[in-house]
Chains A and B, each alone.
Chain A
Amino acid sequence: MDPSVDRPAVETVDLGLSYGPRTALEGVTIKIDKRRITALIGPSGCGKTTLLRCINRMNDEIEGVRLTGRVIVDGNDVHHPSTRLEELRKRVGMVFQKSNPFPMSIRANVTFGPRMAGSLNRDRANEVVERSLRLAGLWEEVRDRLDRSALDLSGGQQQRLCIARALANGPDILLLDEPASALDPISTAKIEETLIQLRENLTVIIVTHNLQQAARIADKTAFFMEGRLVEYAPTTTLFTNPREKLAEEYITGRFG
């Protein structure tokens, strides 16, 4: 049997990260399952976004960052000299809190990544556009206006376009940093439906402040506090019967 099947999608081992004198992560060891949705929750500044950004090495570019421990994506250490950053970011897509479509057409937004990575002929481009937009749940809404500006889309559609843009690179893992925090409930529901569909083929890791969102969509949820992983459990367990007092206090709104 292929050992990669049971391997975690992402694993961190005793991961620590500091920005100059400030410690953002400390001793974080976690295994994130393949083809599941994992939510990272905790109060602001708890380290959840920092952890997300460690997975595709987004923190490397920040001055004064010091990282200890290991981040392993599908069995490979992301900091190993043989790991190519472009390849890593192709496999690990990211969607940010604020939708950030490029000021170009919907079609050009989706094909941007594959075009940057190499040649993409017209047939293949059409295929990538349709597949990515379908996966992001946006195809039916934009199929007749692919060459219009992406900036004309609504906020929720722009965020799904950003998901489609990330999917166009064919990632195995999709990282999302509060992707629905600025969206109305209907757009939020569409994003959540999209993520549940995507789980069939890829691993989704989402940072969210919305506990109900984590409860609705995540298979497992990790609670962070002051840079440490406090509790990591199946979502239903964490939200009905957390083992740690800190987790109980946070999710019942008694602090934070």
Chain B
Amino acid sequence: MQRPFETDLNTIKEQVLTMAGLAEKSLDDVAKVVATGDSELARRVVDRDDRIDQCELEIDRLGTEFIVRHHPMAGDLRFVITAIKIAPRLERIGDNAVNIARYLLDIMDEPWTSPPPDVPRTLALARAMVADVIGAFVSRDADQAREIILRDDEVDRLYWGLFRSLLDQMRSDPDRVRQLMSQVLVARFAERIGDQATNIAEEIIYLVEGEAVRHSPPAPPEDSRNSKE
């Protein structure tokens, strides 16, 4: 039989995974909305946000209660701190999915035009970072977390490339400004999702190694460090 300590710890973990699952579902849905202009799906993303918000509050409550009841130490303490810090990041990922859905809904009164391929590509890269960072949380894999942090550069590069290119198109085709601006914003929110995944990865390094890596230059993952030697 599991001790209450282990049961409560698992409850927190399950709640984080539930929240991550909802955020990931919203990201999958907005990717489809970007491709198809499905307004019904976009509205479902907006509606799902309340559940994601509730998950954040629940993780806060469970984490606080766990600290009060069990006085966790060492790895258990770091786990609870990490869960409490990951939850607002997941909540922001959900918010960014909602933002994408809303901006796309806003232009759905016009005939749907698929955005340039780098828009869904930016979103797909950010989506993959979120999936992998949750995997790193479950497996407590600091090396995978480091690798995810490095991937954020590619998301940033794609976003800034899109920004410049879409800005040029706005100048040359002012009639499409509304549509192009929405595409810039979709890419911008995708870039922010990549940032949130990066922040979660930093928390996972703290969870595994007990070292805060926020605000410090990213270190390459263990494998690539070895291969350079």
| Interface residue ranges, A against B (CB under 8 Å) | 211-212, 215, 239-242, 247-248, 251-253
Contact = CB atoms under 8 A, between A and B. Distances in A.
B5 A253 contact: yes
Of B5, B73, B76, B210, the most chain A CB neighbours within 10 A belong to B73
Contacts of A241: 74, 78, 209-211
A219 B76 CA distance: 21
Contact of A252 (B76, B209, B210, B211): B76
A211 B75 CA distance: 15
27 contacts: A211-B71, A211-B73, A212-B71, A215-B73, A239-B73, A239-B77, A240-B73, A240-B74, A240-B77, A240-B78, A241-B74, A241-B78, A241-B209, A241-B210, A241-B211, A242-B74, A247-B74, A248-B74, A248-B75, A251-B74, A252-B72, A252-B73, A252-B74, A252-B75, A252-B76, A253-B5, A253-B73
Contacts of B73: 211, 215, 239-240, 251-253
Contacts of A242: 74
Interface in B13-46: none
Contacts of A240: 73-74, 77-78, 210
Contacts of A212: 71
Given A239-B74, A253-B73, 7 more contacts: A212-B71, A215-B73, A240-B77, A241-B74, A241-B78, A241-B211, A251-B73
A50 B5 CA distance: 32
A1 B209 CA distance: 40
A211 B211 CA distance: 22
Interface residues of B, number: 12
A242 B73 CA distance: 9
B205 to A, nearest CB: 12
A252 B76 CA distance: 7
A215 B210 CA distance: 17
Contacts of A215: 73
Nearest to B5: A253
Contacts of A247: 74
Contacts of B209: 241
Contacts of A248: 74-75
Interface in B61-77: 71-77
B80 to A, nearest CB: 11
Contacts of B78: 240-241
Nearest to A238: B74
A13 B75 CA distance: 31
Nearest to A249: B74
Interface string B129-151: 00000000000000000000000
B172 to A, nearest CB: 56
Interface in B81-120: none
A248 B76 CA distance: 9
A191 to B, nearest CB: 19
B68 to A, nearest CB: 12
A156 B184 CA distance: 68
A111 to B, nearest CB: 41
A210 to B, nearest CB: 10
Contacts of A211: 71, 73
Among B75, B78, B211, the most chain A Cβ lie within 10 Å of the Cβ of B75
B4 to A, nearest CB: 11
Nearest to A215: B73
Contacts of B77: 239-240
A242 B209 CA distance: 10
Nearest to A248: B74
A247 B75 CA distance: 11
Nearest to A212: B71
A100 to B, nearest CB: 30
Contacts of B210: 240-241
Contacts of B74: 239-242, 247-248, 251-252
A251 B76 CA distance: 10
Contacts of B76: 252
A212 B67 CA distance: 12
B131 to A, nearest CB: 28
Nearest to A241: B210
A24 to B, nearest CB: 26
A241 B211 CA distance: 8
A193 to B, nearest CB: 20
Contacts of B72: 252
Contacts of A251: 73-74
A239 B73 CA distance: 5
